[in-house]
C-alpha cells in the first residue's frame, strides 16, 4: 500500500511514535539505564555502561533533530530521522544479543527477554515507511541469526542444530509478518479516516452552499420585488417604504456575508488590548434592555483584572450571540449568568469543534443558562453554518459558526457543555502579552456595528 509523503507529517508521526507516550518512554529509558547499572554490578563489564550511554546518546540526537526540524521539514529529513531510529535500534539490541549468547542462564534469559520485548515494540509502533520496516526486519533477523549461531555451536548433533535453525526462521517470519501487517492496518486506517474527512468536508461545503443560496435568494427576491414595486407606485411615501424594505433586505444579506467572513476567519479585524471583565460589563449593559421580558443577565463573581487582545466588535457580536441563544432556551424568571476569569490550561483540552486547545494562559468567558439544553442528537450539528432550530425568519443559523470563527482567529477555542440542567458555553481567549501593543490591525478595519 503506497502513500503520499509529507515531510512535516512524517517527522510528527515519528516524534509521536518515539516520544508521544510519556509513561512508555519513561519505562524504556529508565529501564535501559537501570538495567545497565545492574548488569555492571553483576558482571563488572564496562560495556554495560557504554550500552546505556550509547543508546541515550542516539536518542538525544533523534529527539533534538525531530524537535528542530518537524516545523520546517525538508524532503530528506524523514530519511535522516528514520536512519536515526534504526541506529537507536542497533544501539539497544547489541547488548541483549551478547547476553542471549552467554552460558549464564540469568544473562541469557535477560537477553532473550529484551529481544522479545523489542520485537513486540516494533510491531506495536507500526512505522509507515516500508524501507524503515525492511531495515528493522533485517536488523532483527541478523541479530537472531547471530544468537542462534552461538547457541547451535554448543548443540549436540544435527537434530538439535536443525531445531534451533527452524526456531530462528519461525521467529523471523512471524516478526516480519506482524510488522508488515501492522503497517498495512495503520495505512488502511489513515486512508479511511482521510476519506471520511473528505466526505464530511464535501457535505459541509454542500450545506454551506445551499444555505448561502437559500438566504441570498430570499434577499434578492425581496430586493427585486420592492424595486419593481417602487417603479409602479406613484405615492412618494409608498415608494420610499418599498425602497426601505429593499435596503433592509440588502443589509440582512450584508450581515450574512459578514458572519460568513468571521466563520472563515477572513473578516477585517482591528485587535485592541481590552480589559476582559470591564469589556464584558459594557456588553452586558448593551444587551440587558433587549432581552425578552422576565429574563435577566448578570455577571457572576468579582474576577481578577486581565487583558485580551481581540477585535472588540467581534467579541461583542460573539458574546451577544451566546446570550441570545441562552435567552431563547430560557423561560421567564430565569437568569443568564456570565462569568469571566483568567485560567491556566495545563494540558491540551478538547473543544466543541473537536479541536484541542493548547496549554497556556487564557481568559475564559462563560455564558450559562438553565434552559432545556441542547438535544443529544443535535450537539454535533449546532456549529454547522446555516443550521438553526429557530422558526423561519428568526435566524439564519450563523450565530455559533461566527463565534467559532472568532475564537479560532483569536487563537482560542469554544467549549459547549449541555445537559437537562442547561447549557454552558465558554470562550477561551489567549491572555494579552504585557508587552503587546495597544492596537494591531490584521486587515482593513471594518466599521463597528453590532445588533442584538
Residue 223: pLDDT over 70: yes
Position 450 scores a pLDDT of: 41
On whether both 146 and 292 belong to a single domain, the answer is no
| Rounded distance between C-alpha atoms, residue 446 and residue 426, angstroms | 26
Bigger pLDDT: 304 vs 23: 23
On whether both 308 and 359 belong to a single domain, the answer is yes
Radius of gyration of the chain (CA): 32
Where does a domain end: 210, 235, 263? 263
| Rounded distance between C-alpha atoms, residue 121 and residue 138, angstroms | 16
> Residues near 314 by Cβ (< 8 Å), separated by ≥ 6?
262, 267, 269, 406, 409
Band of residue 55 on the pLDDT scale cut at 50, 70, 90 = very high
Task: Strands of 233-285 (E only): list them.
Answer: 270-275
On whether both 244 and 276 belong to a single domain, the answer is no
pLDDT tens sequence across 127-139: 888 999 999 999 9
Contacts 24+ apart (CB under 8 A), 115-123: 115/143, 115/144, 115/147, 118/89, 118/92, 118/93, 119/171, 119/175, 119/178, 122/89, 122/175, 122/179, 123/175, 123/178, 123/179, 123/182
The length of the chain, given as a count of residues: 452
Position 266 scores a pLDDT of: 58
Are 390 and 379 contacting, i.e. CB atoms less than 8 angstroms apart?
Answer: no
| Rounded distance between C-alpha atoms, residue 78 and residue 70, angstroms | 9
On whether both 234 and 284 belong to a single domain, the answer is no
- The neighbour count for residue 214, using CB atoms within 10 Å, is 12
On whether both 242 and 278 belong to a single domain, the answer is no
> Residues near 99 by Cβ (< 8 Å), separated by ≥ 6?
39, 107, 108, 110, 111, 114
pLDDT tens sequence across 169-216: 888 899 899 999 998 998 888 888 878 877 776 666 666 666 667 667
pLDDT tens sequence across 376-401: 767 766 777 666 655 555 555 566 77
Grid cell of 359 as nine digits = 496549554
On whether both 70 and 54 belong to a single domain, the answer is yes
Instruction: Evaluate whether residue 448 is within a structural domain.
Output: no
pLDDT tens sequence across 112-131: 999 999 999 998 888 888 99
Residue 352 phi/psi, 5-degree rounding, is -65, -30
Q: Which domain holds residue 113?
A: 7-154
Task: Strands of 312-412 (E only): list them.
Answer: 335-345, 349-350, 356-357, 360-368
On whether both 253 and 285 belong to a single domain, the answer is no
C-alpha atoms less than 13 angstroms from C-alpha of 19 in its C-beta half-sphere: 13
Bigger pLDDT: 258 vs 23: 23
Number of domains in the chain: 3
Question: In terms of DSSP bridges, do strands 335-345 and 296-299 run parallel, antiparallel, or are they unpaired?
Answer: parallel
Tell whether the torsion through CA atoms of 78, 79, 85 and 91 is positive or negative: negative
CATH of residue 299: 3.30.565.10
Tell me how far the alpha carbon of residue 234 is from its chain's centroid. 61
DSSP state of 290: G
C-alpha atoms less than 13 angstroms from C-alpha of 451 in its C-beta half-sphere: 7
Instruction: Evaluate whether residue 449 is within a structural domain.
Output: no
Instruction: Evaluate whether residue 376 is within a structural domain.
Output: yes
| Rounded distance between C-alpha atoms, residue 247 and residue 253, angstroms | 10
Amino acid at each position: 500500500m503506497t502513500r503520499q509523503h509529507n515531510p512535516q507529517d512524517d517527522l510528527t508521526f515519528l516524534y509521536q511514535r518515539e516520544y508521544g507516550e510519556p509513561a512508555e518512554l519513561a519505562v524504556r529509558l529508565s529501564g535501559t539505564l537501570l538495567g545497565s547499572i545492574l548488569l555492571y554490578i553483576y558482571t563488572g563489564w564496562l560495556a554495560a555502561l557504554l550500552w546505556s550511554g550509547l543508546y541515550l546518546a542516539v536518542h538525544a540526537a533523534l529527539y533534538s533533530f525531530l524537535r528542530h526540524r518537524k516545523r520546517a521539514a525538508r524532503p530528506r529529513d524523514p530519511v535522516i530521522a528514520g536512519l536515526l531510529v534504526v541506529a537507536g535500534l542497533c544501539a539497544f539490541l547489541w547488548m541483549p544479543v551478547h547476553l542471549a549468547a552467554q552460558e549464564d542462564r540469568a544473562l541469557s534469559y535477560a537477553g532473550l527477554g529484551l529481544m522479545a520485548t523489542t520485537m513486540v515494540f516494533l510491531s506495536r509502533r507500526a512505522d509507515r515507511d516500508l524501507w524503515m520496516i525492511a531495515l528493522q526486519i533485517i536488523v532483527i533477523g541478523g541479530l537472531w541469526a547471530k544468537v542462534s549461531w552461538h547457541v547451535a555451536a554448543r548443540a549436540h548433533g544435527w537434530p538439535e542444530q536443525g531445531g534451533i535453525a527452524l526456531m530462528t526462521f519461525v521467529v523471523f517470519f512471524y516478526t516480519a509478518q506482524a510488522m508488515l501487517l501492522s503497517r498495512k492496518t495503520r495505512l488502511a486506517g489513515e486512508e479511511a479516516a482521510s476519506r471520511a474527512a473528505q466526505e464530511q468536508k464535501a457535505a459541509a461545503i454542500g450545506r454551506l452552499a445551499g444555505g448561502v443560496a437559500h438566504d441570498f435568494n430570499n434577499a434578492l427576491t425581496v430586493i427585486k420585488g420592492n424595486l419593481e414595486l417602487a417603479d409602479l407606485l406613484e405615492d412618494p411615501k409608498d415608494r420610499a417604504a418599498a425602497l426601505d424594505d429593499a435596503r433592509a433586505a440588502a443589509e440582512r444579506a450584508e450581515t450574512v456575508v459578514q458572519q460568513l467572513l468571521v466563520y472563515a476567519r477572513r473578516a477585517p479585524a482591528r485587535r485592541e488590548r481590552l480589559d476582559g471583565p470591564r469589556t464584558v460589563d459594557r456588553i452586558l449593559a448593551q444587551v440587558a434592555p433587549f432581552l425578552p421580558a422576565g429574563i435577566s443577565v448578570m455577571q457572576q463573581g468579582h474576577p481578577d483584572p486581565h487583558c485580551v487582545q481581540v477585535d472588540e466588535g467581534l467579541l461583542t457580536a460573539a458574546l451577544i450571540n451566546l446570550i441570545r441563544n441562552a435567552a431563547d432556551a430560557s423561560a421567564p424568571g430565569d437568569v443568564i449568568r456570565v462569568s469571566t476569569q483568567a485560567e491556566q490550561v495545563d494540558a491540551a483540552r478538547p473543544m466543541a469543534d473537536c479541536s484541542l486547545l493548547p496549554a497556556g494562559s487564557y481568559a475564559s468567558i462563560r455564558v450559562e443558562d438553565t434552559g432545556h439544553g441542547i438535544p443529544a442528537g443535535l450537539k454535533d450539528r449546532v456549529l454547522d453554518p446555516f443550521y438553526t432550530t429557530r422558526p423561519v425568519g428568526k435566524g439564519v443559523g450563523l450565530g455559533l459558526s461566527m463565534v467559532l470563527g472568532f475564537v479560532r482567529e483569536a487563537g482560542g477555542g469554544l467549549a459547549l457543555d449541555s445537559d437537562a440542567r442547561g447549557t454552558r458555553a465558554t470562550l477561551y481567549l489567549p491572555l494579552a502579552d504585557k508587552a503587546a501593543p495597544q492596537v494591531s490591525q490584521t486587515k482593513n478595519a471594518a466599521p463597528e456595528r453590532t445588533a442584538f
